[in-house]
Every structure is written in C-alpha cells, then in structure tokens.
Amino acid sequence: MPTPSESRAALTLITGTAVSRVTALLGKLSGSPESQRADLLDAAPLIVSYYADGSAALAADFYDDERERASARGRFTAEPIVKDRAEKLARAIVWATEPLFDPTDTTVTQRLAPVVQLETARPYRDTITTNRQRDPQAAGWRRVTSGGCRFCRMLAGRGEVYRSNTARFASHANCHCTAQPVFKGDPGEEAGVLQYVASQRRRTKADQERLRSYLADMAD
C-alpha cells in the first residue's frame, strides 16, 4: 500500500505529465490567434480529461487502501469523482490565450500550465472528500503536503483532521497537496478555527486580516 506521501508524489507525476503534454501541444500550434485558440479549446480539454480520470482513480485506490489499513468496519468501495468543469476550463483557456491577441508580460504557457495542473489535481481531492462524506466509517481527512507555501503548511498543521462534512479543500495554482481519509477511532486532533476559516472560499475582512497576521508570524 502506498503511503500518503507516495500517493501525493504519484499525483504530482500525473499533473506534471498533463502539463508537459499541453505544453508540447502549444509548441505545435500555428496559424492565426483565432485558429490556435480553437485548436486549444478542442485538444486541451481532452488531455485534461484523460489525466483527471487517472487522478481520480489514484485517489479512489488510495482511499480503499487507507480504509483497509484502518480496519474500518463494513464494506465500502471508493468511487472516482470527476466533476463536469468543461465550461470553466473553456473560460480558463480563453483567458490563457489572450496573449496571442495582445502580447503581455506573460505567455500562454505561463497562464495555461497552472490551469492544467489545478484541473488534473482537483479530481484527486474531490474523490477523497466526497467519498469521506458517503462512507459511514469515515471521520474526516488530513491535508498531506511536502512543505510548500506558508498557506499550505498552516492548513496541514501537524496532521489535524478536518472532521466537518462541509470542510473545503483549499488549493492554489501549482499546489501539490493531497487529502488523506481518516476513519472512526483515529485520535487525531481536529483542525482549528483558523484552519477552517482559511479553507473557506469567502472570508470576511476580519478573517483575512487574522489570516495575514498568522501567516506573517509563521515567517518569523
């Protein structure tokens, strides 16, 4: 059975390969900006879809392995979760190809690579968090990180468990963190208030100020 760190490394390999394939595709494009954008809108989602399926399958296998490792009761088989994000991906590709029409300080590759990385990593996290909600023996999930930025280190903490069903897996471009399912009987401490707040998509100004202050202290 792979360890959480090994599963995270496998995900990094999957997302990196997806980015490499899209980058190679970009290098082969020719013609007008309009035709290059159209070619990307046709081909890039197919690449993302292929590796997104692999990302979700990796997470489902990892979930089942962790469940077996925890000797969780009853039968449950994790289902790969790949949500329909075709419209959002198309909008991201349109945004990423803007430099074709109006050159800026960033290139199409610089814009598109983080989008591909994030979209291929997302199904892994969705698979863990969604199956955690469906599994009667699941108690939450932990964030697995290799260190990364201060934000990710704060969210991961010392292995605290996100036990709320509504806890969101916060991520950013080029974020390589993953989630590890936790099952009943795990004595892990629950994530703190600030960790839950930082995971929210929307935060009040007061929450944002508390978070900035905490992250600044981490740098000292």
Listing DSSP states for 37-75 in one string gives HHHHHHHHHHHHHHHHHHHHHHHHHHHHHHHHHTT-SS-
Per-residue pLDDT tens digits for 144-194: 997 778 888 889 999 999 999 888 999 888 899 999 999 999 989 999 888
Global pTM reads 0.92
Q: Collect the ranges in the chain with pLDDT lower than 50.
A: none
**Residues 6 or more apart in contact with residue 154 via CB below 8 angstroms:** 194, 195, 198, 214, 215, 218
Nearest C-alpha neighbor of 93 from the set 38, 157, 20, 166: 38
Cβ atoms of 170 and 205 closer than 8 Å = no
Q: Which two tokens stand for residue 206?
A: 């007061």
Task: Specify the pLDDT at position 212.
Answer: 77
Query: What is residue 201's DSSP assignment?
Result: S
C-alpha distance from residue 135 to each of 18, 88, 199, 201 (Å): 30, 29, 22, 25
